[in-house]
Structure 1
Amino acid sequence: MRSIDGTTYAALLAAPDAGICERDFVTFYARSLDGLSTSRFCFWNDLDTVTASVLRGDTGAAENRDFVGDGSLFAVDRVPLVSDLTIQTVKVTLSQLHATVQDMVRGNDIRGARVEIHRGLFDPATHALAGSIYCHFVGKVNKAPISTPKAGDEGSVTIDVVSIVRELTRTNPAKKSDETQKRRSGDRFRKYSGVANVPIFWGVEKSRTK
């Protein structure tokens, strides 16, 4: 169960009578095409560009980020709230025409990019933020097809984000070889693994030769 601050709790309690407004905040960490640097792209589904304090998905610390609006973020799927380790997929739909979106998907490499999805609650009467903006989902980009429409149709960039739990299914690419082993503090256990008729003693006393 997640702990929330008192302001958020009060807003949720009053929501059945006073109503409540929610906005999605999505952050992508895209690599440069040469792989030497990482840039942060932040979007939200409202107007203008705003600076908002969100709670990081990895450390929980507060951090200010500049979120671009102006129709850049079309929609975010409802985030599945589960208590097990099943891999969840959330679709994030962005504008194909927005300049910042174009910069991110065409001017950078977003394959496997880290993604954080936050959700903020606002008072519909005052439009003031009701409490902290909590991280709802942490994952990585799985697919990012760009739909180029024909004349008169609408296009978009629909990004599939899979939950970070998928990292548990990653296999270890290391091989049982001398090259791999010696990277570990000079371990030469497999120095002769490719040579026939060379006994390797491990944890036992060498047999005496006559």
Structure 2
Amino acid sequence: MSLQMWSLLVLLTILILILWVVLPVTVSVDPVAAETIIMSKPAKYCEISLNAGVWTGEPSRSAPFLVEKMAIQAGASATVALALGNAYRDCNPNELPAEVFIGVIKTESNFNPKDVSYAGAKGIMQLLPSTFRIYLKAYPSLFSKGDIFDPYENACAGLLYLNDNYEAWVGHVKDRSKAIDLAVASYLTGVTKLKNSGYSGRIYDGNNYVSNYLNKVKTYARSAMQVTAR
């Protein structure tokens, strides 16, 4: 083999190694069934660095009527807002901030309880039927209708799912606000996929898909918090 050919082979090898190291890890962002995250405890902390700021670390307001006020100001009907207030009261064991709850719903469905995604996620918090059934079975007293499109029952299951995400991270992070960041990001991807990606801020074919989702939730959450100050 000529020297020129050897040189070309070496350059190609170096280029492949560079691409292998530099290119971001990708993860799927299809809706994640709760089976993949419940009791899935991350082995290490995946940092999420954003310019959007962090959660306050404490529930800003816990009264259901303030959740209703946030929801109405964000575009929900009175009936949906009432259901969300009740779900926040009944299905939030870790007292996640009300504005986070509202921010996720605004991002997922814009308060449309009949919304169905291309991937089959349904209802106001865009749950897969398999995820909804897990909470229906685990907490039968909360789901008398068994209806994924019922705004209370869907929001209740979605909020419990968000709480499970939070519990999967809270023992592995520096503070509560970062655990909430990761819980929200995991609502999109699942805890296991987010952990296994070694999250670096660049996910999903080189785009900041998870970061963009989290930024959007935070934007809506800040707007919701402004309502409580009026």
TM-score band, normalised by the shorter chain? under 0.3
Structure with greater contact order relative to length (CA < 8 Å, sep ≥ 6): 2
Q: Identify the structure with the greater helix proportion.
A: 2
Q: Identify the structure with the greater strand proportion.
A: 1
Normalising by structure 2, we get a TM-score of: 0.23
